[in-house]
Amino acid sequence: MVNMAQVNGMIEGMVPEYVPKGVAILQYTDDTIICLQDTQDNARNMKLLLYLYENMSGLKINFNKSEIIMISKDDQKSVQYSNTFNCAVGTWPIKFLGVPVSSSRIRVAD
């Protein structure tokens, strides 16, 4: 669904200059990272896709365990997107599959 949404111009992922239409989703087992360009249209369309996924699969996305993390560290936009997705605002660095990920150079402590 995400790939089709990208092909049809509904969402645009990160780094489109390196990957056509950008990287929009990273998944491993039950961990998912959604990477979108900073537009309200991208956010609304992704939220719609998530609701459609819930309806079609019968599974529920736990938005209480989800976080919005902005690369730009814009607090106002973080709150705006967290309201769109009904989830918390997270902070950098994060860990994905036990590996620290940061918007800047990772410190030894991380």
Q: What is the pLDDT of residues 62-93, one digit of tens each?
A: 999 899 998 887 889 999 999 999 999 988 88
Q: How confident is the model at residue 14 (pLDDT cuts 50, 70, 90)?
A: very high
Using alpha carbons, list the distances in angstroms from residue 59 to 29, 43, 45: 15, 21, 19
**Is residue 50 pLDDT above 80, yes or no?**
yes
Q: What is the 3-state secondary structure (H, E, C) of 20-77?
A: CCCECEEEECCEEEECCCCCHHHHHHHHHHHHHHHHHHCCCCCHHHCEECCCCCCHHH
Q: How confident is the model at residue 103 (pLDDT cuts 50, 70, 90)?
A: low
First to last CA, the chain: 34
Identify the pLDDT of residue 110: 60
